[in-house]
């Protein structure tokens, strides 16, 4: 009987942890697109992808919340690739700016100023 009560208490404690509120994430854009800001974004996303460096796809990150990371360039012996860009959505939670990878949902704090989109 005591063991059953203990199990019930542990189960209730575990389930109550799943009900915690998380601050909502809202779509965001960069407040600045200077070289230092873009270098910081590239550095964070390169680390997230396990690459030394990355190239961003076209787009103005002060206007669009979508970040496209281009596939690595072809090697000298390759003439085609099936690699596709990796897409991130820029989001804000509180004052922090994140890039959320679309295919996995993983979020990476960018460490740059951003603002919510209108």
- Whether residue 99 is contained in a domain is answered as yes
How many whole angstroms separate alpha carbon 111 and alpha carbon 44?
A: 9
pTM of the shown model: 0.78
Q: pLDDT tens, 31-40? A: 999 999 999 9
- Whether residue 53 is contained in a domain is answered as yes
- Whether residue 7 is contained in a domain is answered as no
Say how many domains are in the chain. Answer: 1
- Whether residue 45 is contained in a domain is answered as yes
Q: pLDDT tens, 65-107? A: 999 999 998 888 888 888 899 999 999 999 999 999 999 999 9
- Structure confidence at residue 6 (pLDDT): 41
- Whether residue 12 is contained in a domain is answered as no
**Joined tokens for residue 34:** 């200077």
Cα end-to-end span (Å), the chain: 57
How many whole angstroms separate alpha carbon 38 and alpha carbon 95?
A: 18
- Whether residue 41 is contained in a domain is answered as yes
- Whether residue 4 is contained in a domain is answered as no
- Whether residue 47 is contained in a domain is answered as yes
How many whole angstroms separate alpha carbon 49 and alpha carbon 29?
A: 21
| Domain range for 86 | 23-74+81-116
């Amino acid at each position: 009987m005591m063991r059953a009560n203990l199990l019930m208490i542990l189960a209730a404690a575990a389930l109550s942890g799943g009900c915690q509120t998380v601050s909502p994430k809202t779509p965001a854009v960069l407040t600045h697109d200077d070289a230092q800001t873009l270098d910081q974004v590239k550095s964070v996303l390169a680390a997230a992808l396990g690459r030394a460096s990355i190239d961003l796809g076209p787009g103005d990150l002060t206007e669009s919340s979508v970040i496209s990371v281009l596939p690595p360039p072809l090697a000298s012996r390759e003439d085609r690739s099936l690699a596709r860009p990796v897409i991130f959505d820029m989001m804000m939670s509180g004052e922090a700016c994140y890039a959320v990878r679309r295919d996995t949902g993983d979020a990476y704090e960018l460490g740059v100023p951003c603002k919510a989109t209108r």
